[in-house]
Amino acid sequence: MKEINFSDYKLKHDLNLIDIKLNENSDSKISLTNIKNIYLYSYLWTVITKDFYLFKDFERVYSNLTHQNHILERQDELKKNLKLTNEIKGNYFLLGGENNYWHLLLDYLPRLICLKEINLSNTVVLINSDILEKFQLFILKIIKQMNLKNVKFIKINRYNQLYKFENLFIPSRPSINFAYDFYDKMIGQFVNKQPLKNLYVRRGNVSNRKVINENEVEKLLSKYNYEIVDCAKLSVDEQIDKFLYAKNVVIIHGASIANLLFVPNNINVIEIRSNIDGEFSTNLNNNRFNLILFDKTEKIGEKLRKDIIVNITELENLILKNNFF
């Protein structure tokens, strides 16, 4: 197997490409192509062409290292199994998805806009079989908002890994700017965002990047009229509704930062960080809100992604210095 830039493969195979833009921002677009007789490695929701190429830069959501570990280092085994995979007849659209809130909202659901370019009467949408009910309800809400008819889904098991399709419509990975514009079109233009509330988005009972002293953090922020929000216990609509009216947000790095898509402009956000947290909130910001990366935390444990103890004094000083209350 070889990796290739999609543009090079498109030119060589004369593929059709549709670009969908929601405004004039050059980074705010998504592209759609369709390829016949193509394989799907469902665990990563990535495609492998019949001549065994992987696209470096099109639909890929996860890191190059992840693709290296899961596909390229297993290519002999996978090639053998791919050749034994029966082709599924018909037309299919690669939506994909997972129950990580960030990936679902940023990387997968904005692809739904591509359904406007497809004959939905004879095309089936591929989605993960274990998707949570609250995410299913949100998807149906978006489809209704888009006034789409005859949308048919088929849930497939990501862990079966290998499928072959007669004809697969493949959307590109949405940029963060496109995701913001998508939700602004679907939700933002119909609501009156107002900076009214202080929110603390708790980390809760998770396996990575736990906040060891979260009770102390909550006690501190309650003094300054912060509402404690547990996104894991809320529907998508309930989460969005909280953030539409946020004025000051203190949030632990994690998938819930995807909700910053919905906040009013020019609010204040303190992101409490562990190690190797990446620049997701910075990229999501795009100068829409005042973001402070708070790293006054003690990193604990042997895991790659560390648990943390928040420096309560430093956090309170930051809130008081900036009047974030």
Per the document, the length of the chain is: 325
CA 264 to CA 247: how far, in whole Å? 8
Q: Report how far residue 57's alpha carbon sits from residue 321's, in angstroms, rounded to the nearest whole number.
A: 43
- Would you state the pLDDT for residue 23? 86
DSSP tag of 171: E
Per residue in 182-199, pLDDT (tens digit) is: 999 999 888 899 999 999
Q: What is the chain's mean pLDDT, rounded?
A: 95
C-beta of residue 36 within 8 angstroms of C-beta of residue 195: no
pTM beyond cutoff 0.95 = no
- Asked whether the beta carbons of 95 and 17 are under 8 A apart, the reply is no
Here the tokens at position 56 are: 């470096």
Q: Alpha helix (H) ranges present in the chain?
A: 6-13, 64-70, 75-83, 101-102, 133-145, 176-186, 214-223, 236-244, 280-285, 312-322
pLDDT in tens, 295-311: 999 999 988 889 999 99
Label residue 225 by pLDDT band (50, 70, 90): very high
When pLDDT is averaged across residues 45-65 and rounded to a whole number, the result is: 96
Using pLDDT thresholds of 50, 70 and 90, give the confidence band for residue 160.
Answer: confident
For domain 191-322, which architecture applies? Answer: 3-Layer(aba) Sandwich (3.40)
Mean pLDDT of 35-56: 97
Cβ 226 vs Cβ 270: under 8 Å: no
Percent of the residues in the chain that have a pLDDT greater than 90, as a whole number: 90
Quick check: 25 pLDDT over 90? no
Is residue 26 very low, low, confident or very high in pLDDT (cuts 50, 70, 90)?
confident
**Spatial CA neighbour of 266 closest among 242, 241, 249, 251:** 249
Residue 197, pLDDT score? 97
> Which residue spans of the chain are classified as CATH 3.40.50?
191-322
pLDDT of 41 above 80: yes
